[in-house]
Amino acid sequence: MCEWLSGKRFQLLQVMLLSVAALLYGCSTPYRTPIVEYSGENTGKSFEGIMSYAAQGDLRVVWLHGMCTHSIKWALERDAFISGTLRESMEAAESSKSSAGGNQPYRVTRNHSVSGNHLEMRYLVWSALNDQAKAVVKSASFSKYERADINAALKEGLIDDCFSDAVVYSGPAGDPIRNWIRGEVCDALGGAYSSSGCRIRDNTDRHKTIFVAESLGSKILSDALISIWDLSSKRDKAEIERRLAEVQMIFLLANQIPLLSAATHSSDPTALKMETRDTSLSPLVELFAAARTEEKARSFIEAPGSQLKFVAFSDPNDLLSYPLVGGEHLPQDISIANVIVSNDTTFLGKLERPDTAHRNYLSNPAVIGAVFDGYDGVAFSRRSVPASQ
């Protein structure tokens, strides 16, 4: 035994024992209790969640997934949080799925009753549109070569299946996603989308609306809303403004707008001179600011009773997440809250698993509680993941 422990074997055993001790005593979760940082004037130190808004009146929630392959399971897992709150079975909620079959996107709609009000959840599952492009990526595989297990898992999961979605979306191959999401967002606002923009249908019901977007979905949602505005006629924009003024909250989980906006950034100095917007302001925030200015709100719809709140959740160790930049001149009726969280354990202050840091927002009890219950400015409610997940 002593001979076996001699030399390099003994040194290796020492390293292993020290590593185990370090892992046992050197682990931390620095933002288990999240930190909230606000931008905007007259910023309230709290925000409401899906269930609190639904208790006040009819509500429509439009939810986009992010990078990586997703299926109807993704929608049902998120809807389980609502069914659990209402103590209803998953079968109790009226459900429908729109799909053309094959490699096509679809919408999963789940209808609930909250305090006698109608809560409509729309889950937009777009990932099938990238299946063929991902097949090309996966065909260029190193699977026949010897690889380290962890590196292989990260390459095949985080890069080949997930980050490839962002690459596809950033180029012309992302046009099918852009077109489909525009149509879905326009429909959620009460309109019909065509190449000439979003035409709000006459006599369509108006809904208070919440948008939720995960990861790459944050950029897809932002692009859809901005392009709907840019492509629509002056006549249609007047009605679109009314509908945008009814959006109450936008939750962004692992916001990627700053990263992916770099793909369309212009360094042309003449273009910058012609730019009239506040360039420190996110274009998505600016769009809603224009729709909710006080005089426009009075012209088209009763003034919004509360601020529109953007809430962006980010784990600082998430390689693909960024805070939402508010700019120096946020309108008084818009606020931004950046919620800093820890989605997994940090080892020795050196490493948090990159995959769980990015994927575990909806496994984080504080994030779940904030999205569904809101935040009272003092403490986060903490929700458990439903047992079915």
**Could you report the per-residue pLDDT of 288-305, keeping only the tens digit for each?**
887 776 445 444 444 445
pLDDT of residue 277: 40
Rounded distance between C-alpha atoms, residue 297 and residue 228, angstroms: 19
- 13-55 residue pLDDT tens: 555 554 555 555 567 788 889 999 987 665 567 899 999 999 9
**pLDDT tens digit string along 159-185?**
888 889 999 999 999 999 999 999 999
pLDDT at 259 over 50: yes
pLDDT above 70 coverage of the chain, percent: 77
Write down the pLDDT at residue 387.
Answer: 54
- Confidence label for 66 from pLDDT (cuts 50, 70 and 90): very high
Segment 217-222 shows an average pLDDT of 94
Does the pLDDT at position 204 exceed 90? no
pLDDT range class, residue 272, cuts 50, 70, 90: very low
What mean pLDDT is reported for the chain? 80
**pLDDT(106) > 60:** yes
Instruction: Name residue 94's beta-bridge partners.
Output: 111
Residue 100 is predicted with a pLDDT of 55
pLDDT at 1 over 60: no
Instruction: Please state, in angstroms and rounded to a whole number, the distance separating the CA atoms of residues 324 and 326.
Output: 6
pLDDT at position 246 is 87
Comparing 187-201, 220-234, 283-297, the range with the smallest average pLDDT is 283-297
pLDDT band with cut points at 50, 70 and 90 for residue 354: confident
Domain chopping of the chain, boundaries: 43-375
**pLDDT at position 332 over 80:** no
DSSP bridge pairs for 110: 95, 121
Per-residue confidence at 308, pLDDT binned at 50, 70, 90?
confident
Question: pTM of the prediction?
Answer: 0.84
pLDDT band with cut points at 50, 70 and 90 for residue 74: very high
Q: Rg of the chain's alpha carbons, rounded to an integer?
A: 23
> Could you report the per-residue pLDDT of 84-104, keeping only the tens digit for each?
877 765 555 666 677 656 689
pLDDT the model gives residue 16: 57
Helix (H, G, I), strand (E, B) or coil at 80: helix
Residue 166: its pLDDT value, please? 92
% of the chain surpassing 90 pLDDT: 39
Q: What pLDDT score does 221 carry?
A: 96
pLDDT bin (cut points 50, 70, 90) of residue 226 is very high
Mean local confidence (pLDDT), 316-345? 84
* pLDDT for 315 beyond 60: yes
145-158: pLDDT as tens digits: 888 887 888 788 87
Least confident interval from 1-5, 81-85, 141-145? 1-5
Closest CA to 185 of 64, 300, 310: 64
> Residue 310 has what pLDDT?
92
